[in-house]
Chain A
Amino acid sequence: MTDLPALSIEGLGHAFGPRRVLSNVTFSLAPGDFTVLLGLNGAGKTTLFSLATRLYVQREGVIRIFGMDIRERASECLRRMGVVFQQPTLDLDLTVERNLLYHGSLHGIAHHEAAQRAAVEIERVGLVDQRRDKVRQLSGGQRRRVEIARCLLHRPRLLLLDEPTVGLDIASRQFMLDHVRRLCREEGIAALWATHLIDEVDDGARVVVLHRGEVRAVGEAAQLLGETRTPSMRAAFETLVQERAAA
């Protein structure tokens, strides 16, 4: 199973009525990959996430999770996947711990097992003192940390994170990035990190540039700089986005 891509998307397209939002999107992630899905607002990132998590059903193309077609084996695919949505998804009136336990139950994990895992994940995101606090009492950055802890509770091998740092301060953003990169490096988890913030692409990152529903480039950040002959990721992104528009 480890030889198979954690996520493989081939020829994915989607339209809402006459409005096309994704066209022929193709890329893949190997286990342990940290890949940034870079695109402006409205590029189609959230639609792609909704298709990959089966909130919408795709009719064009194929999405495979560790080789399994999500249309055919949705349950097994979802079990291997941890998701942080762009929109906050915590229950504000439950405690941090309760939110994690609820998530555990949705994955069929036994209560005592979920409690043990929750304690570990809460510690990893530095919220031990807040574990019995209602989520409503937490700051935006803390809530995002809870979401990361929660999405790891069922030990997924693939993380899908849709704009996970939007609205966070610099320290919280850095914590999230470091935490996810560490998970990829040390635990071999694959992560697709969608963002419109170009400065979240560091030198070693693999990047998929998505613009107006199309993949404009896939490669290491350094490789994209070379191909576009630009000095910075921002310049490279602007070149990639404009090239096709001019053509």
Chain B
Amino acid sequence: MNAIHYLRCFAGITTREWLRFLNQRGRFFSALVRPLVWLAIFATGFHFVLGVSIIPPYETYIPYPVYIAPGLIAMILLFNGMLISLSMVYDREMGSMRILMVSPLPRWFLLTAKLLAGCVLSVIQAYAFLVIALLWDIVPPWYGYITVLPALVLSGLMMGALGLLLSSAIRQLENFASVMNFVIFPMFFASSALYPLWRVQESSLPLYYICEANPFTPAVELIRFALYEQLDLQSALVVLSWLVVFMSLAIYGYDPARGLIARRAAAE
């Protein structure tokens, strides 16, 4: 097996994810509608409640919708990461995971290919959101649309890797609802997506520390700064570290000799 075999395999996995995505057009619209609902209703409603002072990377007072836009982009990435997880659990229940697992290519590569394929879809949806967000006067500098790309890719990979890790631990499709309650909502709310952390710090110090430790927070900040042509190096390194941790654990989880999959077989 040489590089060209790996490339063909990656192309095959990406094509399948793409076809699946096209088959489920509702998924695309719901991925867009979800943050737009936040933007149109929540941001408008809270516009007068939450005052946002001048904080980097912003150089002036900004309307609340502008503040939460990076968080909503990160939410798209998070939901897509969980969809990778859902797709893996669905594949396992429907049996098609076995075909992936008996490929002669190494398992770490198959999982990475799945992750990259999912990330491509995440980034496309994030850009679609940025286009629609223009209607709410969320207009970053035009160069920001380019500088945000690496931030979207890195954050998308990190959240996809979290999805892969969860999929190795989730036993059945029915258990997936708990992911919504125990992963998506806490990650989203306990972060800097909806409010700056200095405001959280003022009201609750423990919650502030939770927000700081939440992998979602550096992803939001990385996107926020990148959208305004700035590199938040600390957030980038933290997101990268979480990516390595989540992906390593996911590969361990899918290892037939050691991981969660093997332990599950033993339990059944």
Measuring CB to CB, which residues of chain A are less than 8 angstroms from any residue of chain B?
Answer: 16-17, 50, 53-57, 74-76, 78-79, 81, 83, 85, 87-94, 98, 101-111, 150
Contact = CB atoms under 8 A, between A and B. Distances in A.
B4 A108 contact: yes
B98 A55 contact: yes
A129 B16 CA distance: 22
A30 to B, nearest CB: 23
B106 interface: yes
A89 B19 contact: no
16 contacts: A54-B102, A78-B102, A87-B95, A88-B95, A89-B98, A89-B99, A91-B94, A98-B19, A101-B12, A102-B15, A106-B9, A106-B12, A106-B110, A107-B104, A108-B8, A111-B8
Nearest to A50: B265
B23 A79 contact: no
Instruction: With a 10 A CB-CB cut-off, give which of B4, B96, B266 has the most chain A CB atoms.
Output: B96
Given A16-B266, A94-B19, A89 B95 contact: yes
A155 B143 CA distance: 50
A90 B19 contact: no
A3 B168 CA distance: 40
Contact of B102 (A83, A98, A102, A108): A83
Chain B, interface size category, equals 20 to 34
B100 interface: yes
B5 interface: yes
Given A53-B102, A75-B106, 15 more contacts: A16-B267, A57-B256, A57-B262, A78-B103, A81-B102, A83-B98, A88-B94, A89-B96, A93-B19, A101-B15, A107-B9, A107-B104, A108-B105, A109-B8, A150-B99
Nearest to B20: A93
A56 B256 contact: yes
B120 to A, nearest CB: 16
B14 to A, nearest CB: 9
Interface string B83-106: 000000000001110111111111
Contact of A16 (B1, B23, B257, B268): B268
A212 B95 CA distance: 25
A53 B256 CA distance: 11
